[in-house]
Amino acid sequence: MKANDYTKTKPVWCPGCGYFGILRALHQTFADLNLKQEDILIVSGIGCSGKFSSATMSYGFHGVHGRLLPVAIGAKLSNSDLTVVGIGGDGDGFSIGLSHFIHAVRRNVRVVYISTDNHVYGLTKGQTSPTSDPSFKTKTTPYGPEIEPVHPLLLSLSSGGTFVSQAFAGDIKEMVDIFKQALNYDGFAHVNVLSPCVTYNHVNTYDWYRQNIIKLNTLPDYDPHNIQFALSKAADFDHVYTGIFYIDENKKSYNNNKNYMPDKPIAKQPLRKDENIDLYSILST
């Protein structure tokens, strides 16, 4: 498989949008892992990130604002054979979807959640988002929001996250590496991607990130299995880090809980005991 095999349509994003890089990295990841198109489900929410599901040659679901994670988790629990990726913006995931995010982290279902973080509401023309800096000025907040932003990585870790990471939309190689690890991880994998909004955010630009990003694996004390290390870097608001912050390879995912999960995916079980026809087969034909 090649990356272009997963390309369905070209999204209508602003020229230079970081989402183009994320989409390319995601398709390259699918190709490197040789995933079948029919075995992938992309669940997207409202906003500019909503186009990911329609731009990928796979199953796709365009949900409502803040509700992509319940859909993604429900799909994975119904058919554990699917590779399920949820993609949503910072406004989608850390505003109306904040509660869903926290409990998705706690539940630890094997879903990859990519939060595309550009610190601004892009689709609704540049209002401050939950991750905007307190001094970030817009037409609706001329003095800045003047409130503490949501910190996705710190929130993820403090909620019990077992795979917490951050990437930069301008570094496709690093994104592919992190996406691969996330897709192979047995549990809820959170990847926060710093994605420049070239139209409405003229502070957190490509150049700004390239000048300020520090890769975690270049630090002498880097240890992705040390929760204290991860928390200290996630709480270091004076610096911007990318890489795997924390990974717990010992905790089992909800999908491996034999008390709740059947041996055969629910979607592939017979509709009736006396029939050998399952819902998955019906939908596939």
What pLDDT, in 10s, does the model give residues 135-180?
Answer: 989 888 899 888 999 999 999 999 999 999 999 999 999 999 999 9
Q: Comparing C-alpha atoms, which of 165, 29, 202 is closest to residue 42?
A: 29
Rounded to an integer, what distance in angstroms lies between the CA atom of residue 166 and that of residue 216?
Answer: 10
| pTM of the entire predicted model | 0.92
Q: Whose structure tokens read 């989608």?
A: 92
Phi, psi of 216 (to 5 degrees): -60, -40
Residues 40-76 as b/e (b if ≥16 CB within 10 A, e otherwise) read bbbbbbbbbbbbbbebbbbbbbbbebbbbbbbbbebb
Rounded to an integer, what distance in angstroms lies between the CA atom of residue 65 and that of residue 116?
Answer: 14
What does the chain come to in residues?
285
What pLDDT, in 10s, does the model give residues 199-214?
Answer: 999 999 999 999 999 9
What pLDDT, in 10s, does the model give residues 250-280?
Answer: 988 888 877 777 777 877 777 766 666 666 6
- pLDDT score, position 278: 64
Please provide the DSSP assignment of 248-272 as one string.
-SSSPPGGG-TTTS-SS-GGGSBSS
Kind and range of the H or E run holding 22: helix 18-32
Q: Give all domains of the chain, ordered by start, each with its CATH number.
A: 3-255 (3.40.50.970)
